[in-house]
Amino acid sequence: MRKNYFVTIGMFMLVLIVAMAIAGCGATPTATTPTPVKPTVTLLTENFGATDTATFFSAAYKPLSTKPSSPMYKLVTADGTVTVGSGSLVLNGGGRFVIGYTGDTVVPTTAGDTATLGELDLSNKNYQITFKVIAMSSTAATKRLQIYVNNTTDNGAYSIHGDTSRIYSEQLDAIFNKYGLGGTVTVTSKVGNATSFLEFRMESGFSVTIDDIVISY
Protein backbone atom coordinates (compact mmCIF):
# COMPACT_ATOMS: atom_id res chain seq x y z
CA MET A 1 0.00 0.00 0.00
CA ARG A 2 2.80 2.37 1.02
CA LYS A 3 4.74 1.46 -2.12
CA ASN A 4 1.72 2.23 -4.35
CA TYR A 5 1.39 5.60 -2.61
CA PHE A 6 4.93 6.62 -3.49
CA VAL A 7 4.51 5.39 -7.08
CA THR A 8 1.36 7.51 -7.45
CA ILE A 9 3.11 10.61 -6.07
CA GLY A 10 6.10 10.02 -8.38
CA MET A 11 3.90 9.73 -11.47
CA PHE A 12 2.02 12.89 -10.49
CA MET A 13 5.27 14.85 -10.16
CA LEU A 14 6.49 13.54 -13.52
CA VAL A 15 3.26 14.62 -15.26
CA LEU A 16 3.51 18.04 -13.60
CA ILE A 17 7.12 18.55 -14.75
CA VAL A 18 6.28 17.54 -18.34
CA ALA A 19 3.27 19.89 -18.40
CA MET A 20 5.38 22.79 -17.16
CA ALA A 21 8.06 22.09 -19.79
CA ILE A 22 5.47 22.06 -22.59
CA ALA A 23 3.97 25.33 -21.37
CA GLY A 24 7.42 26.89 -21.17
CA CYS A 25 8.20 25.99 -24.77
CA GLY A 26 5.28 28.06 -26.00
CA ALA A 27 5.92 31.02 -23.74
CA THR A 28 6.97 34.32 -25.26
CA PRO A 29 10.18 35.66 -23.67
CA THR A 30 10.02 39.14 -22.23
CA ALA A 31 12.19 41.56 -24.25
CA THR A 32 14.50 43.87 -22.33
CA THR A 33 15.85 47.11 -23.77
CA PRO A 34 19.20 48.32 -22.43
CA THR A 35 19.00 51.73 -20.82
CA PRO A 36 21.03 54.17 -22.94
CA VAL A 37 24.00 55.69 -21.15
CA LYS A 38 23.77 59.47 -21.18
CA PRO A 39 27.00 61.42 -21.69
CA THR A 40 28.33 62.97 -18.48
CA VAL A 41 31.39 64.85 -19.77
CA THR A 42 31.10 67.60 -22.37
CA LEU A 43 34.24 68.31 -24.39
CA LEU A 44 32.82 71.11 -26.52
CA THR A 45 29.64 73.03 -27.24
CA GLU A 46 29.25 75.45 -30.13
CA ASN A 47 26.25 77.60 -31.02
CA PHE A 48 28.06 79.76 -33.61
CA GLY A 49 27.74 83.03 -31.80
CA ALA A 50 30.61 84.62 -33.73
CA THR A 51 29.67 87.82 -35.54
CA ASP A 52 31.32 86.68 -38.78
CA THR A 53 33.49 83.99 -40.37
CA ALA A 54 36.83 85.64 -39.61
CA THR A 55 35.93 85.93 -35.93
CA PHE A 56 34.81 82.30 -35.77
CA PHE A 57 38.18 81.09 -37.07
CA SER A 58 40.13 83.15 -34.54
CA ALA A 59 41.68 82.39 -31.16
CA ALA A 60 39.91 85.45 -29.79
CA TYR A 61 36.56 83.71 -30.31
CA LYS A 62 37.48 80.26 -28.97
CA PRO A 63 41.09 79.19 -28.33
CA LEU A 64 42.51 75.75 -27.86
CA SER A 65 42.76 74.99 -24.14
CA THR A 66 46.24 73.49 -24.63
CA LYS A 67 47.42 76.30 -26.93
CA PRO A 68 45.57 79.56 -26.23
CA SER A 69 47.22 81.40 -29.12
CA SER A 70 45.68 78.98 -31.62
CA PRO A 71 41.97 78.86 -32.61
CA MET A 72 39.74 75.91 -31.81
CA TYR A 73 38.42 75.97 -35.39
CA LYS A 74 40.54 76.09 -38.53
CA LEU A 75 39.45 76.34 -42.15
CA VAL A 76 40.84 73.54 -44.33
CA THR A 77 39.50 74.58 -47.73
CA ALA A 78 39.40 77.92 -49.57
CA ASP A 79 37.81 81.09 -48.22
CA GLY A 80 34.07 81.10 -48.76
CA THR A 81 33.63 77.34 -48.54
CA VAL A 82 32.69 77.66 -44.87
CA THR A 83 30.86 80.74 -43.58
CA VAL A 84 29.50 81.74 -40.19
CA GLY A 85 26.82 84.27 -39.31
CA SER A 86 23.34 84.65 -37.82
CA GLY A 87 24.05 81.94 -35.27
CA SER A 88 24.88 79.09 -37.65
CA LEU A 89 27.57 77.69 -39.93
CA VAL A 90 27.19 77.02 -43.66
CA LEU A 91 29.25 74.26 -45.25
CA ASN A 92 29.27 74.97 -48.97
CA GLY A 93 30.05 72.22 -51.47
CA GLY A 94 33.51 70.80 -50.80
CA GLY A 95 33.94 72.88 -47.66
CA ARG A 96 35.86 71.47 -44.70
CA PHE A 97 36.89 72.73 -41.26
CA VAL A 98 38.56 71.09 -38.27
CA ILE A 99 37.82 71.21 -34.55
CA GLY A 100 40.58 70.91 -31.96
CA TYR A 101 43.49 70.73 -34.43
CA THR A 102 46.69 71.88 -32.70
CA GLY A 103 48.95 72.43 -35.71
CA ASP A 104 49.67 76.04 -36.68
CA THR A 105 48.57 75.29 -40.24
CA VAL A 106 46.42 72.41 -41.42
CA VAL A 107 48.47 69.85 -43.33
CA PRO A 108 47.17 66.75 -45.14
CA THR A 109 47.07 63.63 -43.01
CA THR A 110 48.16 60.27 -44.45
CA ALA A 111 47.64 56.57 -43.82
CA GLY A 112 51.24 56.41 -42.65
CA ASP A 113 50.83 58.90 -39.81
CA THR A 114 52.18 57.75 -36.45
CA ALA A 115 50.94 60.69 -34.39
CA THR A 116 47.98 63.07 -34.40
CA LEU A 117 47.63 66.80 -33.80
CA GLY A 118 44.55 67.31 -31.67
CA GLU A 119 43.46 68.22 -28.16
CA LEU A 120 40.24 66.23 -27.92
CA ASP A 121 40.72 63.18 -25.72
CA LEU A 122 38.64 60.50 -27.45
CA SER A 123 40.67 57.54 -26.23
CA ASN A 124 38.77 54.49 -24.99
CA LYS A 125 35.52 56.41 -25.01
CA ASN A 126 32.14 55.79 -26.58
CA TYR A 127 31.71 59.45 -27.43
CA GLN A 128 28.82 61.31 -28.99
CA ILE A 129 28.57 64.19 -31.44
CA THR A 130 25.25 65.96 -31.84
CA PHE A 131 24.30 68.83 -34.11
CA LYS A 132 21.30 70.30 -35.89
CA VAL A 133 20.83 70.64 -39.63
CA ILE A 134 18.66 73.73 -39.99
CA ALA A 135 18.87 74.25 -43.76
CA MET A 136 20.16 72.60 -46.93
CA SER A 137 20.31 73.69 -50.56
CA SER A 138 18.26 70.66 -51.60
CA THR A 139 16.25 68.23 -49.50
CA ALA A 140 16.49 65.67 -52.33
CA ALA A 141 20.28 65.79 -52.77
CA THR A 142 22.24 62.55 -52.58
CA LYS A 143 25.52 64.29 -51.71
CA ARG A 144 26.77 63.60 -48.19
CA LEU A 145 27.58 65.45 -45.01
CA GLN A 146 30.59 63.78 -43.39
CA ILE A 147 32.61 63.78 -40.16
CA TYR A 148 36.17 62.46 -39.84
CA VAL A 149 38.47 61.79 -36.88
CA ASN A 150 42.17 62.64 -37.17
CA ASN A 151 41.84 63.26 -40.89
CA THR A 152 42.24 66.59 -42.68
CA THR A 153 41.44 65.27 -46.16
CA ASP A 154 38.35 64.16 -48.07
CA ASN A 155 39.59 60.55 -48.26
CA GLY A 156 38.69 58.27 -45.36
CA ALA A 157 41.85 56.21 -45.77
CA TYR A 158 44.23 59.15 -45.25
CA SER A 159 44.41 58.88 -41.48
CA ILE A 160 46.19 57.00 -38.74
CA HIS A 161 42.86 55.16 -38.33
CA GLY A 162 42.51 54.23 -42.00
CA ASP A 163 38.99 54.02 -43.45
CA THR A 164 37.42 54.00 -39.98
CA SER A 165 38.35 57.69 -39.64
CA ARG A 166 35.14 58.60 -41.51
CA ILE A 167 32.72 58.12 -38.63
CA TYR A 168 29.70 59.74 -40.27
CA SER A 169 28.53 59.99 -43.88
CA GLU A 170 24.87 60.60 -44.69
CA GLN A 171 23.06 61.90 -47.75
CA LEU A 172 21.16 65.17 -47.42
CA ASP A 173 17.89 63.57 -48.52
CA ALA A 174 18.30 60.89 -45.84
CA ILE A 175 19.03 63.53 -43.19
CA PHE A 176 15.91 65.45 -44.20
CA ASN A 177 13.71 62.34 -44.22
CA LYS A 178 15.02 61.15 -40.87
CA TYR A 179 15.31 64.38 -38.88
CA GLY A 180 13.60 67.11 -40.88
CA LEU A 181 15.09 70.60 -40.63
CA GLY A 182 16.10 71.52 -37.11
CA GLY A 183 16.16 67.98 -35.77
CA THR A 184 19.15 66.74 -33.80
CA VAL A 185 21.56 64.38 -35.56
CA THR A 186 23.42 62.05 -33.18
CA VAL A 187 26.69 60.35 -34.11
CA THR A 188 28.38 57.85 -31.77
CA SER A 189 31.86 56.40 -32.22
CA LYS A 190 34.86 54.89 -30.46
CA VAL A 191 37.41 55.86 -33.11
CA GLY A 192 40.06 58.22 -31.78
CA ASN A 193 42.91 58.66 -29.33
CA ALA A 194 44.05 61.06 -26.62
CA THR A 195 45.13 63.72 -29.15
CA SER A 196 42.22 63.77 -31.57
CA PHE A 197 40.54 66.37 -33.74
CA LEU A 198 37.41 66.30 -35.89
CA GLU A 199 36.74 67.42 -39.43
CA PHE A 200 33.33 68.35 -40.88
CA ARG A 201 32.91 68.15 -44.65
CA MET A 202 30.14 68.69 -47.20
CA GLU A 203 30.49 66.97 -50.57
CA SER A 204 30.60 69.18 -53.65
CA GLY A 205 27.61 70.74 -55.34
CA PHE A 206 25.36 71.40 -52.36
CA SER A 207 25.41 73.26 -49.05
CA VAL A 208 24.18 72.53 -45.55
CA THR A 209 23.64 74.82 -42.56
CA ILE A 210 24.38 73.41 -39.11
CA ASP A 211 23.99 74.63 -35.53
CA ASP A 212 24.46 73.54 -31.92
CA ILE A 213 27.41 71.12 -32.06
CA VAL A 214 28.02 69.19 -28.83
CA ILE A 215 30.84 66.68 -28.32
CA SER A 216 30.52 64.56 -25.17
CA TYR A 217 31.04 61.13 -23.64
pLDDT in tens, 1-30: 444 444 444 444 444 443 444 444 443 333
Taking the C-alpha atoms of residue 203 and residue 199, their distance in angstroms, rounded to an integer, is 13
* Interior/surface letters 109-139, b for 16+ CB within 10 angstroms, e for the rest: beeeeeebbbbbbbeebebbbbbbbbebbee
Taking the C-alpha atoms of residue 176 and residue 43, their distance in angstroms, rounded to an integer, is 27
Q: Tens digit of pLDDT for each residue in 54-95? A: 999 999 999 999 999 999 999 999 999 999 999 999 999 999
- Residue 33: is its pLDDT beyond 90? no
pLDDT of 19: 43
pLDDT of 66: 96
Instruction: Locate the DSSP E strands across 5-87.
Output: 42-46, 73-75, 82-85
Q: Tens digit of pLDDT for each residue in 111-156? A: 999 999 999 999 999 999 999 999 999 999 999 999 999 999 999 9
pLDDT of 37: 58
DSSP per position, 118-166: B-B--TT--EEEEEEEEEES-TT---EEEEEES--SS-TTSSTTGGGGE
In CATH, the architecture of 39-216 is Sandwich (2.60)
Per the CB < 8 A criterion, the answer to whether 198 and 145 are in contact is no
pLDDT of 186: 98
pTM: 0.83
* Domains of the chain, residue spans: 39-216
